[in-house]
């Protein structure tokens, strides 16, 4: 019976040793995975911080660019307004010139007609005399 008892004890010891080894392997696996998880979390936190910093920089750049574009737009609007005024003045000048030249031409036609009538009257009087 001692033999049988020794075998049972030996079997238990081997089973305990096998389970201890399995527990040790599982513990090492868990520790390794825990370390990997911790490293991954740290990398993710660094990445998140970098993303936040990048976002902040981009927001600043976008605000600066927006302000610059607004200023450029305002400058363009002022230039367009100024140029429109200049063009309107030029159009007004051209219209005045046009009226003067057309008026002058009409007056010339009128005077030519008067001259022609006067010539005709003169010719008629010369024939009468």
Q: Is the per-residue pLDDT at 6 higher than 80?
A: no
What integer pLDDT is reported at residue 12 of this predicted model? 86
pLDDT of residue 42: 97
Report the alpha-carbon distance of residue 40 to residue 33 in Å, rounded: 10
Task: Compute, in degrees rounded to 10, the torsion defined by CA atoms 69, 70, 74, 76.
Answer: 20
Q: How far apart are CA 27 and CA 21, in angstroms?
A: 10
| Whether this model's pTM surpasses 0.85 | no
Residue-range domain boundaries for the chain: 1-98
**DSSP at 1:** -
Confidence class for position 11, pLDDT limits 50, 70, 90: confident
Element (H, E) at 123: helix 2-128
| pLDDT per residue as tens digits for the range 43-91 | 999 999 999 999 999 999 999 999 999 999 999 999 999 999 999 999 9
């Amino acid at each position: 019976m001692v033999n049988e008892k020794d075998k049972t004890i030996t079997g238990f010891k081997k089973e305990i040793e096998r389970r201890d080894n399995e527990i040790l392997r599982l513990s090492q696996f868990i520790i390794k995975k825990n370390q990997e998880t911790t490293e991954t979390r740290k990398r993710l936190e660094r990445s998140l911080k970098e993303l936040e910093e990048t976002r902040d920089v981009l927001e600043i750049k976008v605000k600066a660019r927006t302000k610059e574009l607004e200023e450029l737009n305002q400058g363009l609007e002022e230039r367009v307004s100024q140029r429109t005024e200049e063009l309107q003045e030029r159009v007004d000048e051209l219209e005045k010139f046009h009226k003067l030249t057309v008026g002058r031409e009409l007056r010339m036609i009128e005077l030519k007609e008067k001259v022609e009538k006067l010539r005709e009257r003169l010719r008629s009087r010369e024939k009468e005399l």
